[in-house]
């Protein structure tokens, strides 16, 4: 009897070991240090959602000393969080075989920051003496602002990622990430107001997820499981208990606090970044291919990219999203 029991116990142990071993190791690179805008992915680790989908996910943070973009094509990463579609256009233009498989922010948080009362509308910013814009911004959304809204290159001065100039001049306008700089400015005693570029026609998706093109072709099951689990993570993070995700974020980025994370998430809700637009019916992560094409045209018309330089069919795919996945979770939590 003891021998039979031992044999059964051994078989159960081996079976359990095989289940553990079956989890696919996935390394996911983010675009910056851990923050609230990464919360859904941390949530999916914290509450076991990735594990439920047979995934062992490691988050590799980006940041000032870490550029994760080359790591995807070098196969050091399996998935990469990118800023917006322009970066994906650039990959295709340079023959780098990656593809967007989900878009977790329906709106790009890129914004213009002003002091409350200094300008009454976005169009009034064309009269601002100075607008602080980073070098990257000058070669991207600024070109669109000039082309579509009548801004002038003479207004631009370099933005050094420090709000001191903004704080010292009530007429100053500067670029901002809508869920970051407004919070910093308010903490420094200013009364900031944010104009989200997405609300003015800047139609790119943001916090997109890229995979290598060969993965889309040869391992769609892995991509689908990662996307589905991440979607569930975002619904649970937005509408459920965030405590465990917060703890993981603060562990990876000790500069974060619960207070900072709460303020950041209030900004996300205020600006309508994530669960808005198509996401309301198609689910978080949704991609409209016509919108991708329209933003491609915007980039061409604004002189950001050259016509014919990007094969739009290689930029993104909607095969892993738009299925309403996770809407049942939202319904239960709300």
Same structural domain, 59 and 44: yes
Residues 101 and 14 in one domain: yes
Q: From CA 134, how far away is CA 12, in angstroms rounded?
A: 59
Each residue of 250-265: pLDDT tens digit?
Answer: 999 999 999 999 999 9
Diameter of the chain measured on Cα atoms: 89
Q: Which of 200, 220, 251 is the last residue of a domain?
A: 200
Q: Do 228 and 324 reside in the same domain of the chain?
A: yes
pLDDT of residue 2: 45
pTM: 0.91
State the CATH number of the domain containing residue 151: 3.40.190.120
How many residues are recorded in the chain? 334
Rounded CA-CA distance 23/45 in Å is: 13
pLDDT per position as a tens digit, 216-229: 999 999 999 999 99
Query: Which pLDDT score, from 0 to 100, does residue 21 have?
Result: 55
Phi, psi of 42 (to 5 degrees): -65, -35
Q: Which of 200, 235, 252 is the last residue of a domain?
A: 200
pLDDT, average across residues 285-314: 97
Domain boundary among 146, 179, 200: 200
Q: Quote the number of domains for the chain.
A: 2
Are 49 and 118 in the same domain? Answer: no
Q: What is the CATH number of the domain that holds 87?
A: 3.40.190.10
Strand partners, 63: 66
Asked if residue 18 has pLDDT above 50, the reply is no
Confidence of residue 213 (pLDDT cuts 50, 70, 90): very high
What would the mean pLDDT of 192-211 be, rounded to a whole number? 98
| Contact of 59 with 112, CB cutoff 8 Å | no
> Is residue 1 pLDDT above 70, yes or no?
no
Per the structure, the complete domain to which residue 182 belongs is given by 110-200
Same domain, 302 and 170: no
Q: What angle do CA 155, 176, 143 make, to 5 degrees?
A: 45
Please state the separation of Cα 112 from the chain's center in Å: 19
d(CA 209, CA 44): 15
């Amino acid at each position: 009897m003891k021998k039979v029991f031992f044999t059964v116990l051994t078989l159960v142990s081996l079976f359990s070991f095989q289940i553990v071993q079956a989890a696919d190791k996935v390394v996911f690179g983010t675009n910056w240090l851990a923050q609230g805008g990464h919360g859904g992915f941390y949530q999916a680790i914290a509450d076991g959602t990735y594990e439920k989908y047979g995934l062992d996910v490691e988050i590799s943070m980006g940041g000032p000393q870490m550029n994760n973009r080359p790591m995807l094509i070098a196969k050091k990463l399996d998935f990469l969080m990118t800023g917006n579609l322009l970066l994906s256009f650039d990959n295709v233009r340079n023959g780098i075989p990656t593809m967007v498989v989900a878009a977790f922010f329906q709106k790009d948080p890129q914004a213009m920051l002003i002091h409350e009362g200094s300008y009454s509308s976005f169009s009034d910013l064309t009269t601002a003496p100075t607008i602080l814009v980073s070098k990257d911004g000058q070669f991207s959304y600024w070109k669109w602002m000039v082309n579509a809204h009548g801004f002038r290159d003479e207004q631009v001065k370099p933005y050094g990622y420090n709000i001191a100039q903004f704080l010292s001049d009530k007429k100053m306008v500067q670029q901002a990430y809508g869920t970051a700089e407004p919070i910093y400015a308010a903490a420094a005693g200013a009364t900031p107001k944010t104009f989200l570029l997405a609300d003015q026609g800047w139609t790119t998706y943001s916090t997109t997820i890229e995979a290598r093109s060969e993965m889309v072709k040869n391992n769609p099951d892995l991509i689908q499981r990662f996307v589905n689990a991440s979607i569930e993570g975002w619904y649970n993070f937005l509408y459920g208990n965030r405590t465990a995700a917060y703890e993981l974020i603060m562990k990876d980025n000790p500069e974060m606090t619960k207070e900072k994370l709460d303020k950041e998430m209030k900004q996300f809700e205020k600006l309508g970044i994530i669960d808005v637009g198509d996401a309301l019916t198609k689910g978080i992560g949704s991609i409209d291919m016509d919108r991708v094409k329209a933003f491609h045209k915007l980039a061409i018309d604004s002189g950001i990219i050259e016509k014919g330089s990007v094969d739009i069919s290689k930029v993104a795919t909607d095969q892993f999203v738009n299925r309403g996945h996770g809407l049942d979770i939202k319904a239960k939590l709300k």
